[in-house]
Structure 1
Amino acid sequence: MSRRRAATAATPYLFLAPGLVLFAVTVLYPTLQAFQMSFFDWKIVGSATSEFLGLDNYARAFTDDHFWLALSNSGIYMVLTVAPQIVIGLGLALLIQKKSPTQPLFRVLFYLPVVTSWVVVSFLFKFLFSDGGLINFALGDLLHVTNGDTAWLADRWTGLIAICALGVWKGIGWSMMIFLAALQGVPQALIEAANMDGANRWQRFKVVTVPAIWPAILFVTVMLVIGGFNVFISVYLMTGGGPAGRTDVLLTYMYEQAFNNLDFGYGSAIAVILTIMVFMLSVVQMKVFRDRNGGGAQ
């Protein structure tokens, strides 16, 4: 009997084992290796041994002007993409939550960018924001807002606008689907009760809907913030961090240091700093959201 109980207790771990092994090999071990490398002048070419530097790579990062520029660009991207994805995604979810013959079509259309390759859409937006692209044609020839020759990707701020536009467009469908699933769980009895009490649409949304979907808002916000600081492909393919590194974000700067300059120690230090920063931001967000939700419940 004891063997049967032991076998029953071990069964879940046997099913989890392949995934845990894969996680350990592809995520855990590289993470620990990167943390180790961040304390060395890590050599991968030639017979020279890696030199232990202690915290020198971290001190170098905090005195590196380009590191702070990349960090500020990452923060700008995160701020300019997270809020629109939440607001527009929730708005779209509210619009299409009611069953209708066209609901499946709109779900597919809004979600299609999410499943489209980052490489494909990055090249698409690079073409749209090129000198002779559709954006310049629309703003110049059709709307006469500009001269139609704006070099969007050749300037830091216009380049970041183009990159952020891609991030928002591609992520709205994901936020919409999460909110759409959460809206299905809002108790209709509470909405009907608020309606009978004379609450208007905005009051019902504020008092009933928002508290009911608060966990989904927390989840979406945390995941979007993490994703915002991990932006890489769109920047790398649209601007390459240019001009002169002015649109670099943390991951493109880390990639440049590690794989172009072969400075794996410094690149690993940047990766560790980014990981710690994102983790701390996630913890703060979860605490703020939970405290606010608890206060609202009281």
Structure 2
Amino acid sequence: MPPATAAPGTPVAAGPPGRSAPATAPAKNRRARRGRELRAGLLFSLPAVVLLLLFMVAPFVSALVLSFTDQRLVSPRPVSFVGLENYVRVLTDAQFWGALTNNVVFALIVVPLQTGAALGLAVLVNRRLPGRVLFRTIYFLPTVTVMAVAATVWKLLLLPDGGMVNGVLDTLTFGQLQPGWLSSTSWAMPAIVITSIWQGVGFQMIIFLAGLQAIPASLYEAATMDGANAWQQFRNVTLPGLRNTLIFVLNVTVIFAFRLFDQVYIMPQFPGGPLDSTRTMMLQLLQTGYGRGLIGQASAIAVIFFLFVLAVTLVQRRFSREERAVQ
């Protein structure tokens, strides 16, 4: 018997009321929960965003604006727009290029040496050896020392007459080697390099140590069962496991290397000396802005310096990304 059909125009009875409400309620609850989580996340991140805007974005924008003016530290004249004049003066200044060269040389020496030393120390203190906690503390202590204090101590150690370093060298070499660490153009930068590595290697060691402890022990056990020696385990297990940590450490070390200031200001007899052999971009910026009162020109140096470090960091990250893609 065919089923009965409703006559044309007869309203079809709807299902029981409230049947569709339970189906949409979970979706509404999820949307409401996501909204609350989003508002909470924005609220918690607001202090960090405000600090970022106040102490990073706003100063850079201010420096960018001032770099196009003839702003001076103290001057009765009104500030006027000068266009790219400050950038032309900076880029045609031989002292600026000398400072940039010193920064590049310092980074090329410090970054590989400090990173390699930190990785070696991290591997050493990660082993189950007696006294490893004491050694971790000893290696990390220079990091918590303010760089200005560390530079002052090293300046006393490296004095040509009465300094401990030259005293030891004089004894070991029977007076044949007594470098003028901070008075010679050949030895001033090596002295700055030694001080910087001594002070910064502990921070990198802790970062590498955290990365080493995150590598599963089962990988080393499997490598041992396959007959891998210590070097093969380091090359095929440790280094791949530390790839992201290594990239982070390299980026941070490059940035710190280009921010070199305290050592070159405190350790030589004159800031940047002798004969500008330790002059850096940060010192050039400070002396231009506060020594000569040329705030507009110093702002141009700051902008150029920022763009240069940004370019170096982006190139470094690009190479790291391509290396990961190949592997």
Counterpart amino acid of 1:29? Answer: A
Task: State which of 143, 161, 164 in structure 2 corresponds to 1:134.
Answer: 164
1:289 aligns to 2:320 (yes or no): yes
Counterpart in 1 of 2:106? 77
Change (3 A) 1:118 1:212: same
Question: Would the aligned equivalents of 1:152 and 1:158 in 2 still touch at CA under 8 Å?
Answer: yes
Identity score, percent: 35
Q: Deviations over 1:90-130 (max 9, x none)?
A: 11111110244412111111000001011110101111111
Distance (whole Å) between structure 2 residues aligned to residue 161 and residue 31 of structure 1: 32
Task: State which of 164, 167, 173 in structure 2 corresponds to 1:143.
Answer: 173
What pairs with 1:212-291 in structure 2 (closer than 5 Å)? Answer: 212-239=241-268, 240-291=271-322
Q: Tell me, what secondary structure is at the counterpart of 1:51?
A: coil
Change (3 A) 1:144 1:72: farther
Counterpart in 1 of 2:59? 30
Q: Deviations over 1:164-193 (max 9, x none)?
A: 111111111111111111011222222222
Task: Name which of structure 1's ranges 199-208 and 96-105 shifts more when overlaid on structure 2.
Answer: 96-105
Question: Would the aligned equivalents of 1:42 and 1:51 in 2 still touch at CA under 8 Å?
Answer: yes
Task: State which of 203, 208, 226 in structure 2 corresponds to 1:174.
Answer: 203
Counterpart in 2 of 1:98? 127
Q: Tell me, what secondary structure is at the counterpart of 2:138?
A: helix
1:10 aligns to 2:39 (yes or no): yes
Task: State which of 224, 228, 236 in structure 2 corresponds to 1:199.
Answer: 228
Q: Deviations over 1:196-234 (max 9, x none)?
A: 222211111111111111001100011101100011111
Question: Would the aligned equivalents of 1:70 and 1:249 in 2 still touch at CA under 8 Å?
Answer: yes
Counterpart amino acid of 2:164? Answer: L
Q: Tell me, what secondary structure is at the counterpart of 1:205?
A: helix
Task: Name which of structure 1's ranges 91-100 and 118-127 shifts more when overlaid on structure 2.
Answer: 91-100
For structure 2, which runs of at least 5 residues remain unmatched after alignment?
1-28
Distance (whole Å) between structure 1 residues aligned to residue 219 and residue 180 of structure 2: 53
Counterpart in 2 of 1:66? 95
Task: Name which of structure 1's ranges 219-228 and 26-35 shifts more when overlaid on structure 2.
Answer: 26-35
Q: TM-score under structure 2 normalisation? A: 0.85
Question: Would the aligned equivalents of 1:43 and 1:49 in 2 still touch at CA under 8 Å?
Answer: no
Task: Name which of structure 1's ranges 119-128 and 136-145 shifts more when overlaid on structure 2.
Answer: 136-145
Q: Tell me, what secondary structure is at the counterpart of 1:76?
A: helix
Task: Name which of structure 1's ranges 278-287 and 55-64 shifts more when overlaid on structure 2.
Answer: 55-64
Aligned-residue offset at 1:145: 6.0
Change (3 A) 1:146 1:24: farther
Task: State which of 189, 192, 206 in structure 2 corresponds to 1:160.
Answer: 189
Counterpart amino acid of 2:109? Answer: L
Counterpart in 2 of 1:108? 137
Which has a greater percent of helix? 1
Aligned-residue offset at 1:246: 2.9
Question: Would the aligned equivalents of 2:73 and 2:289 in 1 still touch at CA under 8 Å?
Answer: no
Distance (whole Å) between structure 2 residues aligned to residue 74 and residue 40 of structure 1: 27
Alignment: residue pair count: 295
Q: Deviations over 1:12-69 (max 9, x none)?
A: 2222222222221122111110111111111342331122221122122221111111
Distance (whole Å) between structure 1 residues aligned to residue 309 and residue 300 of structure 2: 14
Q: Tell me, what secondary structure is at the counterpart of 2:187?
A: helix
Aligned-residue offset at 1:7: 4.5
Distance (whole Å) between structure 1 residues aligned to residue 212 and residue 252 of structure 2: 19
Question: Would the aligned equivalents of 2:188 and 2:277 in 1 still touch at CA under 8 Å?
Answer: no
Change (3 A) 1:5 1:182: closer
